Amino acid sequence: MDFQRLLLTKDCELFRFSVGIESIAYLLFVDTFSLAPKNFGEAIFEDDFNPNDNHILVQCGILRELTTLEREEILSFAEKLLSSKPSIDYMVDFFHAEADLESDYPEGDGVFDLVSKTNELFKSNIVIEDTSSINNIVQK
């Protein structure tokens, strides 16, 4: 399985996962820069949940049923990306994506189309005001 970072802002990262030429999933990380709400951990820890300093929202929109191995690889990817971050809470939320995030990105204004489609798919609020960093190795 291959992955490609499509977007990086100060508070989010978006990745596409593919097998061959087939896109199979999109993984969005959103840094809330705040504590996880109490109900986030109560389902797992009951009354013993003490939130860490930062809550990361992680959503995975899948385009088809994933094999067990594909799902494990995506979870491992998220864990590797976040394991070095101190004092965070996160959980990967999988859902079926209704549409692929096809756009002209990275050409022209394609990044705005990608952000619009991403916001619609993930019900997020990503804002890109300046596309000048899109050609940089690290976008911000």
* pLDDT at residue 22 in the model: 94
Is residue 135 pLDDT above 70, yes or no?
no
Q: 12-19 and 22-31 as β-strands: parallel, antiparallel, unpaired?
A: antiparallel
Average pLDDT, the chain: 86
pTM attached to this predicted model: 0.85
The mean pLDDT value for 87-92 works out to: 90
Domains of the chain by range and CATH?
2-122 (3.40.630)
Least Cα distance to 118 among 29, 54, 35 occurs for 29
